[in-house]
A = this chain, B = another copy of it.
Amino acid sequence: MPTKIDIPRKSIYRLSIYQRCLHRLRENQVDTVSSAALAKAAGVKSTQLRKDLAYFGQLGTRGLGYNVDALSTTIGDVLGQNKLQPVILVGVGNLGSALLHYGGFRKEGFEIAAAFDLNPRKLPNIKVPVLNMSEAAAFISRHHVKMAILTVPANNAQSATNDLVQYGIQAILNFSPTVLDVPEHVVVNSVDLAVELENLSYFIR
């Protein structure tokens, strides 16, 4: 089994996508899947899929494809049982409260344990406690929180990040429209909804 270091970041990302497809196949009582079919479901080339899975040794049987259960278990072992991680959300503005209302994270195995804001206010119909940023350090330490969803305005994003990293956050899902400068041990994934739309608009005839 290779160590985490050996697998490229983008392969790890695609493993999550393969895993999602495998779960769907299992729900549909599909037992085996060819690399071509799994690649198509995941939206990647089958050469890419085979290369990604080759990091774990020989998994499929030529001509038979992959056993859905076995492959899913292997990928699950690699990705780790980290899914029940507590996550905090920082910045309860429009997007932050929208994500708190969303609720879909929980279904996927992530629980937003608390939300933080400089000016916390009670949100209707939300069970997640909204706390003052000044309580973040203690909360993160007490609940061993390693992951944060960042939804603060762009001009606060770097200083909020600096604080979170100091408090022990190691992974940030960044919705602020800015690039964050973080130490090497911290991982950031960014989702910029406006950039996604702007990018799409380029391709419209």
Q: A residues engaging B (CB < 8 A)?
A: 4, 12-13, 16-17, 19-21, 24, 40-43, 79-80, 82-83, 85, 87, 94-95, 97-99, 101-105, 108-110, 146-147, 149, 154, 170-173, 177-179, 185, 187, 189-205
Contact = CB atoms under 8 A, between A and B. Distances in A.
A171 B95 contact: no
B95 A102 contact: yes
Contacts of A178: 24
B108 A198 contact: yes
Contacts of A98: 98-99, 101-102
Given A42-B179, A170-B204, A202-B4, A197 B94 contact: no
Task: Name the 6 nearest CB pairs between A and B, nearest first.
Answer: A108-B194, A98-B98, A43-B179, A82-B201, A171-B200, A187-B203
Given A187-B200, A201-B82, A105 B194 contact: yes
Contacts of A190: 43
B201 A83 contact: yes
28 contacts: A12-B199, A12-B202, A13-B195, A16-B199, A16-B202, A17-B192, A19-B198, A20-B194, A21-B179, A43-B179, A43-B190, A80-B201, A83-B201, A85-B197, A97-B101, A98-B101, A101-B101, A102-B193, A104-B194, A109-B194, A147-B197, A147-B200, A170-B203, A171-B201, A172-B200, A173-B197, A173-B200, A189-B196
